[in-house]
Amino acid sequence: MLDKIDIQEIISIAQDAGKAIMRIYDTDFGVEDKADKSPLTAADRESNTVIIAGLQAAYPAIPIISEENKEVPYADRAGWDWFWLIDPLDGTKEFIKRNGEFTVNIALVHQGKPVLGVIYVPAQNVTYYSVEGRGAHKIDASGSTKKINVKQPDPNKLVLIGSRSHPSPEFDAYLNEKQAQYREVDFVAAGSSLKLCLVAEGIADVYPRLGPTMEWDTGAGHAIALEAGASVRVYGQNQDLRYNKENLLNPFFIVERN
């Protein structure tokens, strides 16, 4: 299946969704509350429409899980071998703040593992992508593509990345623990799935997510991190994060060099 997927086509779909988002970003958009009190904008809906249409036209046989679609009952999706996992606008809070730290996320999952990931950063015109066995890459705003990898560890210094909009007491405790272990600990705040990308490209050493996320928040970044040489494991366990669980809520997890 994976060899039948055109990664450039998936990148184009993500970038088209990003263009739809930016058209709304430049307007006086409204904000609604979803049932879980998380924010929703017209940009979430427009991006979702673009991605769903693009994936269904190109790969009609592959089912889709999206944050903005009605959740598919587990009885229907439990037997899915392959599926698309999308977050049409990850970092809606960052979008509303207009700080540019929001992303479009498309992942392809095979038997619970993300094997392809595309993350587009519309405000920066930057794309991260990976395909299992082919490495992780970044396309910068000028259109240049380079391979990305996790950074070499420094025994004296740790660069730790965390959420800009979702702090937690557990994260603060983790930070304090690392400050006791290293001579220098730098903290970098970022929004959305950019945090996984910043570990993947060697800007940060570790991203502990000690707060709630959903599978669509992490699938694409997980695929990219894996191909860049990182692991994405359940926090405190030697177990990889898995997908298409009965409950799509992720456990706490940590992203770091393998």
Q: In which band, very low, low, confident or very high, does the pLDDT at 32 lie, cut at 50, 70 and 90?
A: confident
> Does residue 97 sit in helix, strand or coil?
helix
Evaluate if residue 37 carries a pLDDT over 70.
Answer: no
Evaluate if residue 47 carries a pLDDT over 80.
Answer: yes
Write the pLDDT tens digit of every residue in 165-183: 777 888 889 989 999 999 9
Q: In which band, very low, low, confident or very high, does the pLDDT at 186 lie, cut at 50, 70 and 90?
A: very high
The residue length of the chain stands at 258
Evaluate if residue 28 carries a pLDDT over 70.
Answer: yes
Both structure tokens of 175 = 């930070």
Write the pLDDT tens digit of every residue in 126-166: 999 999 999 999 999 999 999 999 999 999 999 999 877 77
Q: How do strand 64-66 and strand 82-90 relate by DSSP bridges?
A: parallel
Kindly report the pTM of this predicted structure: 0.95
Domains of the chain: 2-148 (3.30.540.10), 157-257 (3.40.190.80)
> Whole-angstrom Cα distance, residue 110 to residue 251?
19
Residue 63 CB burial class (10 angstroms; 0-12, 13-18, ≥19): middle
Least confident of 17-26, 168-177, 232-241: 168-177
pLDDT (mean) for 56-74 = 95
> Whole-angstrom Cα distance, residue 201 to residue 171?
22
More confident residue, 42 or 252: 252
pLDDT (mean) for 67-85 = 95
> Whole-angstrom Cα distance, residue 31 to residue 29?
7
Instruction: Judge contact between 219 and 114, C-beta under 8 A.
Output: yes
What DSSP string runs through 13-76?
A: HHHHHHHHHHHHHTS----EE-TTS-EE-HHHHHHHHHHHHHHHHH-TTS-EEETTSPPPPHHH
